[in-house]
């Protein structure tokens, strides 16, 4: 996979691409990341990429020309151009999984008061990471890149990715590690039993319980397999 990140602050991303899993994914050839300075695409001799909005208003807006030329220069036949904006659809784990299967993603990071709206005609998808406003699209671009890259085959152990919270529509079951007991705080006996069938059943039930308790909204939109649907209904009844 190749990811192009278009931004006016490419240095903002350098620690991100040189750290932890992202660095390893790059070193092993699972992903290639290019940091593209939007100022390299402007025709303005002062490298200016923003201007005041027509009609008046506070702040500055990223101009159409450099955004248009950046997309035209970077987009290929198998590219998907993504605009990071509060107006976009909310990014979630299902979308991360879909995007991880693509060959080339172009992330456009905004800044200031937003984009010249004409650029919307040249993007494939607008995404938001939440119902709040940030200074710019750099942090959302990193969040998307991280969520997508970790799902690219080979980057993580497959079982680790498959059992993540939200990957199957539910929160992950609670986890414990050594010691088995500390100051009266004990690890559940089932996890010490060595019975993998019982452990698997316990984990599935706990995933449902945790989701119902902490994020019941997740159950509204996800299409679950019949056994999970039955388990959800069973847990709901036991909680009444």
The catalytic residue positions are 86, 113, 150, 164
Give the number of C-alpha atoms closer than 13 A to the C-alpha of residue 24, restricted to the C-beta side: 8
The angle at the Cα of 33, spanning 31 to 35, to the nearest 5 degrees, equals 175
Contact indicator for 172, 206 with CB cutoff of 8 Å: no
d(CA 2, CA 33): 6
Contact indicator for 152, 28 with CB cutoff of 8 Å: no
To which H or E segment does residue 61 belong?
strand 61-62
d(CA 192, CA 177): 11
Residue 233: CB atoms within 10 A of its CB come to: 11
Tokens of 51: 């201007």
d(CA 200, CA 204): 6
Contact indicator for 231, 205 with CB cutoff of 8 Å: yes
**73 has which bridge partners?**
none
To which H or E segment does residue 231 belong?
helix 226-239
């Amino acid at each position: 996979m190749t990811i192009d990140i278009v931004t006016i602050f490419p240095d903002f991303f350098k620690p991100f691409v040189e750290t932890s899993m992202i660095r390893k994914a790059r070193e092993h050839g699972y992903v290639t990341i290019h940091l593209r300075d939007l100022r390299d695409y402007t025709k303005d001799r002062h490298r200016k990429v923003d201007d005041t909005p027509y009609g008046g208003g506070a702040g500055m807006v990223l101009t159409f020309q450099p955004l248009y030329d950046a997309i035209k220069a970077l987009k290929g036949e198998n590219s998907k151009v993504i605009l990071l904006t509060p107006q976009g659809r909310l990014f979630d784990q299902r979308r991360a999984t879909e995007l991880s299967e693509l060959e080339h993603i172009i992330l456009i990071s905004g800044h200031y008061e937003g984009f010249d709206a004409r650029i919307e005609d040249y993007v494939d998808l607008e995404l938001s990471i939440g119902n709040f406003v940030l200074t710019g699209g750099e942090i959302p671009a990193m969040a998307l890149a991280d969520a997508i890259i970790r799902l690219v085959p080979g980057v993580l152990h497959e079982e680790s990715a498959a059992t993540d919270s939200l990957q199957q529509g539910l929160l992950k079951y609670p986890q414990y590690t050594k010691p088995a007991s500390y100051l009266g705080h004990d690890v559940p006996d089932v996890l010490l039993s060595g019975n993998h069938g019982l452990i698997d059943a316990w984990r599935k039930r706990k995933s449902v319980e945790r989701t119902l308790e902490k994020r019941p909204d997740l159950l509204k939109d996800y299409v679950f397999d019949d056994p999970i649907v039955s388990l959800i209904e069973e847990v709901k009844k036991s909680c009444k």
